[in-house]
Structure 1
Amino acid sequence: MKKWMRQLFLTLSLALTVLFGYGLFSAYMDVTSPPRAEILVKSEERPATPGDTYIALGDSLTRGVGSSNGEGFVPLIGNVLKENHTVERFQNLGVRGARIEDLLAQLEQKEVKRSLKNAKIITITIGGNNLFNSGEILKKYSEETALGILETQIPNLEKTFKHIRESNPNAVILYMGLYNPFKQSPNGDSFDSIIQKWNESARTLGLKYSVQVVDTFNLVTDAKRDLSSDVFHPNDSTYQQIADSMSLVIEKSIIQ
């Protein structure tokens, strides 16, 4: 091989290696520290649209990250509700990477306030990004640190439930409990305990503010089987199970 061809080959190999490494790093950061979309952009005030609606609030789980079509459980629930004439439309207000403080800020937007006020059904997924702390909690895991996050953030979760319930006293409101995406990690059992404490606190708040807490903890027991390729968000099958669980709670609540 001529010298210039050898040098070209080495240069291209190095470039590909760098690009591959960057790709892996980007994928890791996208999971552990997902981009937080802009949620405070002012929207134009529009006339209210008549008819019952289903509003979905929350983070990347509400957005549907991990599903093959990028839509997740919201349209699975929404389309069934429309077919059953329970609602006339549904709206996904989920924000990828959102934390509780982001959702609280979003709830102050005029358009969001009006959407909530007119909603018949509201679902919420929030808290995972707070508890997992953008992946930092895995780097130097401490159960004491995790419990500290829980102690700090549960009052904020209560603010969220209170705000949404006050915005709409009559809506059926559902909160999706957290699952453990880190079961296979060395600290998986400890994380199980932390997440169960979070979910138990959420259930207590749910009783106070008439928010139904949907248990998804047991839907994720095997990361390879139950999660998408990022080993963090649900795959299509798990999103379907989440939708089925939520739909069952909605159906029972509406009948009551």
Structure 2
Amino acid sequence: MKRYAWPLFLSVSLILTALFGYGFASAYNDVVNPPKRAVLTPTKEEPVAKGGTYVALGDSLTRGVGASNGNSYAAIVGQELTKDNTVERFQNLAVSGARTEDLLKQLEQKEVLRSLSQAKVISVTIGGNDLFNRGEGVANFDAKKTADTIKSAQTNLEKTFKILRDENPDAVIFYVGLYNPFRASENGEAFDAIVQNWNAESRQLGLEYDIEVIDTFNLVRDVKRDLSSDQFHPNDSTYEQIAKASLLAVNKRF
């Protein structure tokens, strides 16, 4: 039995030596020529994405004129989006009395563009001051003049949509359409058709630039019930309804 032990021991030793040599050579090769999987393995964690901002643009409807507490639809939307952590903060850049050309000038400002490029949600209200001209466009209704105004304002609206989408391809953007605060006036019915056409054209632009359009036409049926004491801006209840419709449009995108 002993005479077989030495050859067996010698054979095992040779095998172990060969395995050790192979292992050493493989380890050395991994150091000198590391495999691709080691090179491609990330060494740092991915940065945590920021919550982003909800930026509101537009006119007095975004500022909240007519609301007893100053809370426009945008302020209500901003409160809800920050509460559920959809965004971190709310920034209201609206200017009361602004028309479409005023908004375009605002969009030339570097700081405004920077805010928009970093936004997670963007909203716009514009066009009412172009169309109604503080009631003068209704009281002194001129079909041709109104048609020219609409054509110019719609061109400006399209430019606005394009700028917003170019600055931020990923943000959820929504536009709050128009209602008719002068339904009870002499030319109220004519403006019903004009406002509905405006909203329809806006929806077409929205489809082109991936922008949600909130139709507020049916939210203002009774001036005394649905508008504030100035009979032009929404009251608290109507602002809340606009905010509710806006939140539905925003939340379906997240």
Q: TM-score, normalised by structure 2?
A: 0.79
Q: Distance in 2 between matches of 1:113 and 1:57?
A: 12
Q: Distance in 1 between matches of 2:221 and 2:124?
A: 22
Asked whether 1:238 is paired with 2:238, we answer yes
State the Cα RMSD in Å. 1.0
SS in 2 for 1:151: helix
Structure 1 residue 69: Cα displacement: 1.3
Asked whether 1:155 is paired with 2:155, we answer yes
Larger radius of gyration: 2
Q: Distance in 1 between matches of 2:173 and 2:107?
A: 15
SS in 2 for 1:253: coil
Q: Is the 8 A contact 1:143 1:190 kept in 2?
A: no
Structure 1 residue 139: Cα displacement: 2.9
Aligned pairs for 1:153-192 within 5 A: 153-192=153-192
Q: Distance in 1 between matches of 2:128 and 2:57?
A: 14
Q: Which residue pairs with 1:115 in the alignment?
A: 115
Identity %, equivalent residues: 59
Q: Is the 8 A contact 2:51 2:86 kept in 1?
A: no
Q: Distance in 2 between matches of 1:72 and 1:78?
A: 10
Q: Is the 8 A contact 1:131 1:149 kept in 2?
A: yes
Structure 1 residue 151: Cα displacement: 1.6
Structure 1 stretches of at least 4 aligned residues deviating more than 6 Å after TM superposition: none
Q: Which residue pairs with 2:200 in the alignment?
A: 200
Aligned pairs for 1:42-121 within 5 A: 51-121=51-121
SS in 2 for 1:169: coil
Asked whether 1:251 is paired with 2:251, we answer yes
Q: Distance in 2 between matches of 1:241 and 1:212?
A: 16
Q: Distance in 2 between matches of 1:136 and 1:186?
A: 12
Q: Distance in 2 between matches of 1:122 and 1:132?
A: 25
Q: Deviations over 1:73-97 (max 9, x none)?
A: 1221111111111001011111000
Structure 1 residue 68: Cα displacement: 0.3
Q: Distance in 1 between matches of 2:135 and 2:228?
A: 17
Unaligned runs of 5+ in 2: 1-49
Amino acid at match of 1:149: T
